[in-house]
Chains A and B, each alone.
Chain A
Amino acid sequence: MNRLLPIYLVEGKAAVQRQAQYRGAAFISVLGFLIEPIVYLIVWRTVAEQAGDINGYGVDEFTSYYIVWTLVRVFNLALAPGAWDWWVRTGRIANDLLHPVNPYHRQLAGMAGAKVVWITLWIPVAVFLTVLFRPQFSPSLLEGTVFFVTAWAGYVIRFNVLWLLGLVSFWTTRAQALIEVIIAMELLLSGRLVPMAIMPQWVQTVSTWMPFKWTFEFPIEVFIGQLTTAEIWQGLGMQLAWIAITGLGIMAVWRNAIRKFTAVGT
């Protein structure tokens, strides 16, 4: 860990500097990622205006949920698994394998550093959404602090899940269908599409035992005060468990994946 900490700091700092150079592109990127929750927000506000309270979610709760969603989305952005296909197929990964540090650490730190810029660029968007939709929630300092921890933990879980998925590219360059299935599962089981309280009970039960909910809904509900203290502790435990499971998975799969790889060319 002592050996990795300086590497994480350097990679993170370099990513901040890189992203700060391309502020315009980063802002457009953040805007692009925010269209999805704005659409969900408008759809579900419309439903709640007609149907009233839906399993604990009315107009105010949906508004708060999807506005915090936008921040969580910026937090949990991770390397797209589709990038691996190009990376492996063109042999570009060979460059990264020459480094003395596993690309996992460099990418995890790089994406984390980039978030410092993205979150800064998210602030004007959040102000715009707040003025427009007027969410009704006031998190305490403690909720804000716990949110910060859970959002970062959610990022690590999501990064690990997508990294594992990306490793499939070492065996096949046609992983897109599998990626689509996993992204659809995430959409339905994470609270990304709707809060899990809107889903049927059996879907909620399944989502508890999958990693996705702990990357999206859990941090959001911590921030908007939908959870009891016991539920927060339980969620933190689940996040730790998923970080461990996916981390061990990556260690096991990476060793085998890298043995499959042969690079040729200049």
Chain B
Amino acid sequence: MVKLNFNDIKEGDQIPSLTKEPITQIQLVKYAGASGDFNPIHTIPEYAKEAGLDGTIAHGMIVMGMLGQMISNWVGVKPVKEFSVSFKAITRPGDILTAKGEVKRKIENADGKSIAIKVQIEDQKGEVKVGGKAVIKID
């Protein structure tokens, strides 16, 4: 984790990316238990097929969690003031996700200094699964 220096940051700077291990079915079972989201569409292939899918799909929130991991790897959690995402595409077991981000804007106002970053996570084919933004305060 780094302590950011406002003067050293430029709009367009890339933040350190994060490539994850392939998503596994057992990981989705673990995530169901951890988060308390037991929708069987994530864990039981037969149920997912009845719902018209090819198989189970990942919880959107595990993918947001991976974006969060990239952010907290970089700056921890204390400086993060906002983090929001839109879910854009389905993630399936076997997908290999890479989280990326860049500095969009430097902000200096009565509340102090902060940066707005744009984040997104895509699969091995470049399909964006989740996109969003975060605001990071800099002391």
Partners in one complex: no
- Which B residues fall within an 8 A CB radius of A? none
